Amino acid sequence: MTIRILLIDDHTLFRSGVRALLARQPDFDVVDDAADGIEGIKRAKQHRPDVVLLDLNMPGLSGIETLQLLQQDLPGTAVIMLTVSEDVDELTMALREGACGYLLKNMEADTLAAMIRRAAQGDSVIADSMTQRLIAQMRMPARVEAVPVVALDTRDAPALTPRERDIVRIISRGASNKDIARELDLAESTVKIHVRNVLRKLSLSSRMQIAIYALKRPE
C-alpha cells in the first residue's frame, strides 16, 4: 500500500530535505508540501493524504490551529506533529486536539519512516524522549494537580473486559497493534476492535491517553 504524505512546515530547506528523504521509500508518495497552515489546509483538502507531517510553531496560523482545522475537514487523516519543541504541555495539547503523533526533528530518517507507517495503520507515535518526559511529569503530584495531562476519572470508568484490561496494560508499554496481536495470539484486526472499544468506554481519543489511564487507574 502506498502512503500518501503532505508536509506542512515554514522552513523551505527542512521541507526539501524531508521530502527528499521520504522519496527514497518505495511505499511513500509525498503528494505536496506547504509553507504555512492556510496553504497546507487547502492542499490537504485537494490531495486528501493519509498522513500529514505538521510543524508546531509557524507564523500566522499555528500548528495547533492548523491541526484543529484539519481534524474538522479531514478527520480520517493521521496528523503527526514534527517539531523541535520538547515541551510536554505542547505535546499534551497536540494530543488533546487529535494529533496521532508527536515527533522531534532530530530523529533518524529510518525512524521517521517507521513512525509514518505506524501512523498510517492507526497507531499513535510519540518520540521516546517525550514519552519519558510525560511520564516523569505525571509522577510529580503537584505538577499534575496544577496542569492535568488529561481529564480522566478512573473511578467512574465503565468496566473493561479482562481482554480489554490486558490490551490497556500492553499499550501502556508503547506496544503497537501488531505487538499486541503477537503477545495475545490474536488477529491484528481483532486488536483494533478491542482498542476502539477501550477508547469508546473510557471516552478517550488516543493510545497515549490509554497509556496515561493505565498509569493513573487504581490497581
CATH code, domain with 159: 1.10.10.10
Q: Which is more confidently placed, 137 or 67?
A: 67
Among 101, 133, 165, residue at a domain's last position: 133
Query: Which CATH number characterizes residue 81's domain?
Result: 3.40.50.2300
- Number of domains into which the chain is organized: 2
**Residues 122 and 159 both lie in one domain:** no
Of 108, 133, 158, the domain-final residue: 133
Three-state DSSP at 28 gives strand
Does some domain include residue 12? yes
pLDDT digits (tens, 9 = 90+) for 65-107: 999 999 999 988 999 999 999 888 889 889 888 999 999 999 9
User: Does 161 have pLDDT greater than 80?
Assistant: yes
Domain coverage including residue 155:
150-216
Sign of the C-alpha dihedral computed for residues 130, 158, 164 and 77 taken in this order: negative
d(C-alpha 65, C-alpha 79), whole Å: 13
Overall pTM > 0.75: no
Helices (H), the chain: 12-23, 37-47, 63-73, 88-96, 109-120, 128-138, 141-146, 162-171, 177-184, 188-202, 207-216
For position 149, what pLDDT does the model report? Answer: 39
Q: Does residue 51 sit within a domain? A: yes
The per-residue pLDDT for range 5-63, each reduced to its tens digit, is 999 999 999 999 999 999 999 999 999 999 999 999 999 999 999 999 999 988 888 89
